[in-house]
Amino acid sequence: MAQGKTRLTDVANAAGIDAKDASYVRTLIELDLVGKEYPITEKKPKGPHYHIKNNFFTFWFRFVLGNKELIERGQSELLLDEVKRDFSRWVSWIFERVCMDFLWVTRPFPIDKIGR
């Protein structure tokens, strides 16, 4: 999920797990580590999109764990290049979540749905 995989099948394929067994995702949702949402513009959504709820975890799995070899070899310049290359996309998703949370809390106008 930290790599941008949001559909159950994509997450399962990336993790090397059978997509038919969604018990691991249910467990992560029960632990409040993963959330699911449906696209707001789809009348009949094909299925939910899953995301890691904790911003620190998304950063860790996206930039740290995924670049473990660069860190262990001390190749900080290559690591920095990798972070710079994808940081704007990562931050834009975080900003989107912050804006939705802000709207739910402040309710500056009548709101019944907020989504992507």
DSSP state at residue 13: H
Looking at the DSSP assignment, which residues form a beta bridge with residue 37?
49
Per-residue model confidence (pLDDT) at position 32: 94
**pLDDT in 10s for each residue of the chain, 116 residues:** 888 888 998 988 888 888 888 788 889 999 999 999 888 888 887 889 999 999 999 999 989 998 999 999 999 999 999 899 999 988 998 899 899 999 999 999 998 888 87
The alpha carbon of 39 is separated from its chain's Cα centroid by a whole number of angstroms, namely 14
Going by their DSSP bridges, the two strands 34-37 and 49-52 should be labelled as: antiparallel
